[in-house]
């Protein structure tokens, strides 16, 4: 087995011969130091998009002490402050077989990278550090990890971040998630689906980024109180597969909301639009609706599409009246009996 000591730094002529702009590596199983040296080679090259899938970091432990890494990591740290061609780095399905190495040293290298797009997915990653300086990140995908509510708290250096994907992690507090975004001045899209999010309400204040217009909170543990903690300028909101039984009136004033997904909840009736005056698309599939209220179309005159399949509709005068009103309204209804 080769050691990182046997893996020399690539000559300048070799780096100049590399013409590839997009590079994908699969099934990489090497020592930490060799992987870092390969990364240094790629950073100096014209490669703009690097994807590594099924990546495994290994020992042997006796050679991979923290002190042995410091000189190499120092070189990497100097490298990431230099202007390079790299624009996007994607690491997927990462496994770490070196258990006695201080991983925060590596997290610091990732957080300080001068690139626009960073993806670290399915890596069992429990934490990531806030960049020390204003970051160039515009897109971050940390899906399918072990991240918690402490991520990016009081972090004011992600001012250019526009898209943040944190699905399939271990977030629990919707309030803390809102504060995480509060200093992200450019954030447009946030995916927090498939976490453990709750919000109990009781006057708890939330503080979202004012720029946030699209929010995915599907597949969490949210109840009716979620409507007390939503970004005021959101246009597209998914609350699919939660535990919502009612949309409380007079709580949320989401005047910009155009698309609302409430599928797979516990709703017994259609929500009104008193707080959603711009609503155009509503999905209430797979709820508990027997007969929707006929005053829906008066409350929601702008709704153009209503999806309501897989509800236990019961034939009644109310349901027939609703269907007649729908035909006169000109909207599109899907999944009706």
Domains of the chain in start order, with CATH, are: 1-115 (no CATH), 125-244 (3.80.10.10), 248-337 (3.80.10.10)
What are the start-end ranges of the E strands in 21-170? Answer: 22-31, 49-58, 88-96, 117-121, 139-141, 163-165
Those residues whose C-beta lies under 8 Å from the C-beta of residue 275, and which sit 6 or more positions away, are: 249, 250, 251, 252, 253, 254, 255
* CA–CA separation, 64 and 66 (whole Å): 6
* CA–CA separation, 38 and 50 (whole Å): 12
Rounded to 5 degrees, what are φ and ψ at 308?
-140, 25
Using pLDDT thresholds of 50, 70 and 90, give the confidence band for residue 176: very high
Q: What is the pLDDT of residue 233?
A: 97
Q: Is the dihedral of CA 66, 70, 76, 78 positive or negative?
A: positive
Does residue 61 register a pLDDT over 50? Answer: no
Those residues whose C-beta lies under 8 Å from the C-beta of residue 68, and which sit 6 or more positions away, are: 33
- Which tokens in the block code for residue 103? 């991983």
Kind and range of the H or E run holding 214: strand 214-216
Those residues whose C-beta lies under 8 Å from the C-beta of residue 325, and which sit 6 or more positions away, are: 294, 296, 297
* 236 within 8 A of 258, measured Cβ to Cβ: yes
What's the pTM value of the predicted model, to 2 decimals? 0.90
Using pLDDT thresholds of 50, 70 and 90, give the confidence band for residue 81: low
255 C-beta neighbours (distance < 10 Å), count: 12
- Mean pLDDT on 113-117: 94
Does residue 324 register a pLDDT over 80? Answer: no
Q: What is the pLDDT of residue 7?
A: 47
Does residue 251 register a pLDDT over 50? Answer: yes
Largest CA distance in the chain: 82
* CA–CA separation, 137 and 37 (whole Å): 23
Distance of CA 213 to the CA centre of its chain: 14
* CA–CA separation, 38 and 261 (whole Å): 45
Does residue 15 register a pLDDT over 70? Answer: no
Please tell me the total number of residues recorded for the chain in this structure. Answer: 337
Does residue 11 register a pLDDT over 90? Answer: no
* 134 within 8 A of 111, measured Cβ to Cβ: no
Q: How confident is the model over 264-319, as pLDDT tens digits?
A: 999 999 998 989 999 999 999 999 998 888 788 788 889 989 998 899 877 777 76
Helical packing angle, 66-80 and 103-111, nearest 10°: 0
At 94, is the secondary structure helix, strand, or coil? strand
* 186 within 8 A of 212, measured Cβ to Cβ: no
- Mean pLDDT on 164-169: 99
28 C-beta neighbours (distance < 10 Å), count: 16
């Amino acid at each position: 087995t080769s050691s990182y000591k046997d893996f020399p730094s690539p000559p300048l002529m070799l780096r100049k011969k590399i013409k590839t702009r997009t590079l994908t590596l699969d099934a990489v199983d090497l020592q930490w130091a060799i992987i870092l040296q390969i990364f240094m080679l790629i950073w100096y090259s014209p490669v703009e998009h690097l994807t590594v899938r099924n990546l495994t970091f290994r020992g042997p432990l006796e050679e991979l002490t923290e002190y042995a890494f410091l000189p190499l990591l120092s070189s990497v740290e100097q490298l990431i402050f230099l202007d390079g061609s790299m624009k996007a780095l994607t690491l997927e399905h990462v496994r770490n077989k070196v258990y006695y190495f201080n991983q925060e040293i590596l997290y610091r290298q990732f957080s300080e990278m001068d690139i626009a797009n960073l993806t670290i997915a399915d890596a069992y990653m429990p934490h990531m550090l806030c960049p020390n300086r204003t970051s160039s990140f515009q897109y971050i995908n940390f899906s399918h990890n072990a991240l918690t509510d402490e991520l990016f708290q009081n972090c004011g250096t992600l001012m250019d971040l526009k898209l943040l994907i944190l699905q399939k992690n271990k977030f629990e507090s919707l309030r803390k998630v809102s504060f995480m975004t509060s200093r992200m001045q450019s954030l447009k899209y946030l995916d927090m689906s498939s976490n453990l999010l709750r919000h109990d309400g009781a006057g708890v204040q939330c503080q979202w980024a004012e720029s946030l217009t699209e929010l995915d909170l599907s597949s969490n543990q949210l109840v009716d109180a979620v409507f007390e903690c939503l970004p005021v300028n959101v246009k597209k909101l998914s609350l699919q597969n939660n535990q919502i039984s009612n949309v409380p009136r007079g709580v949320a004033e989401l005047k910009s909301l155009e698309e609302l997904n409430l599928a797979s909840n516990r709703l017994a009736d259609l929500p009104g639009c008193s707080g959603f005056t711009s609503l155009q698309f509503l999905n209430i599939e797979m709820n508990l609706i027997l007969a929707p209220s006929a005053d829906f179309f008066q409350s929601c005159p702008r709704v153009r599409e209503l999806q309501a399949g897989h509800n236990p509709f019961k034939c009644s005068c109310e349901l027939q009246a609703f269907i007649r009103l729908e035909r006169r309204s000109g909207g599109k209804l899907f999944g009706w009996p």
